[in-house]
Amino acid sequence: MSLIVRQATEADLPDIYRYIHALAEYEKAPDEVVLLIADLEQSFFGQSPQVYCLLSEVDGVVTGIAIWHLNYSTWLGKHGMYLEDLFVDPKYRGKGHGKALLIKLAQICIEKGYPRFQWWVLDWNEPAIDFYKSLGAVAMDEWTVFRLTGSSLKKLATEGY
């Protein structure tokens, strides 16, 4: 059994889709996933992809995903990497698959000159928090995430408040 990390291909879309749903289940939000495989295909392989996906794999079996995109720091004047989703099949957790994905993402950051690599993690997800800290990641506790969606987003766009 040899663990590899590679770029996703269109043939991997069903596995990616399945793992996104599994992540939503784990995060206690299964009904919030509304995407279709066609959405993933457009995002990763459309005319101008802005989202990327790495896979961990053993013997042709996809064991995990890392979905990422660029962000930007005005203070640094450079792009950085934002990890949208990291999910490893529970059967493969604790065996280096998540770490291998993060190592590859860190290598991409260094190769591309991205000085920051960041992501969110749910406050209750202690196993993930402990894992990230073990790799040297630092929680940005002084920041609070804000989000506009649905009717609030529409109201701001159309009424200005």
**Both structure tokens of 87:** 């999910």
Q: Give just the sign of the alpha carbon dihedral 1, 129, 35, 81.
A: negative
- List 56's β-bridge partners, or say none: 5, 64
HSE-up of 36 (CA within 13 Å, CB side)?
Answer: 3
Dist. CA 123–CA 51, nearest whole Å: 25
| Cα distance between residue 149 and residue 143, in whole Å | 20
Active site residues: 132
Residue 20, both tokens: 């996104």
